[in-house]
Amino acid sequence: SQQGEEDPQALSIQEGENATMNCSYKTSINNLQWYRQNSGRGLVHLILIRSNEREKHSGRLRVTLDTSKKSSSLLITASRAADTASYFCATDAGANSKLTFGKGITLSVRP
Amino acid sequence: DAGVIQSPRHEVTEMGQEVTLRCKLISGHNSLFWYRQTMMRGLELLIYFNNNVPIDDSGMPEDRFSAKMPNASFSTLKIQPSEPRDSAVYFCASSFGNFQPQHFGDGTRLSIL
* Structure confidence by residue, pLDDT tens digits, B21-63: 999 999 999 999 999 999 999 999 999 999 999 998 999 988 9
Burial-class residue A100 by CB neighbours within 10 Å (0-12, 13-18, 19+). Answer: buried
Distance from CA of B2 to the nearest CA of A (A): 14
Q: How confident is the model at residue A97 (pLDDT cuts 50, 70, 90)?
A: low
Give yes or no for a contact between A48 and B101, defined as CB atoms under 8 angstroms apart. Answer: yes
Chain centroid to CA A77 = 14
- B-interface mutation test, from A31, A58, A97, A100, most B Cβ less than 10 A away: A97
Query: Residue A93's pLDDT is what?
Result: 72
Contact A43 B50 (CB under 8 A): no
Instruction: List the beta bridge partners of residue A100.
Output: A91
Distance CA A66, CA A25 (A): 11
Q: What percent of chain B has pLDDT over 90?
A: 87
Q: How confident is the model at residue A1 (pLDDT cuts 50, 70, 90)?
A: very low
Q: How confident is the model at residue A96 (pLDDT cuts 50, 70, 90)?
A: low
User: Phi and psi for B56 in degrees, rounded to 5?
Assistant: -145, 115
Collapsed DSSP state (helix, strand, coil) of residue B104: strand
Instruction: List the beta bridge partners of residue B98.
Output: none
Kind of pairing between the strands at B5-7 and A85-92: unpaired
Query: Residue B1's pLDDT is what?
Result: 62
Query: Residue B93's pLDDT is what?
Result: 96
More confident residue, B98 or B58: B58
Q: What is the mean pLDDT of residues A14-22?
A: 96
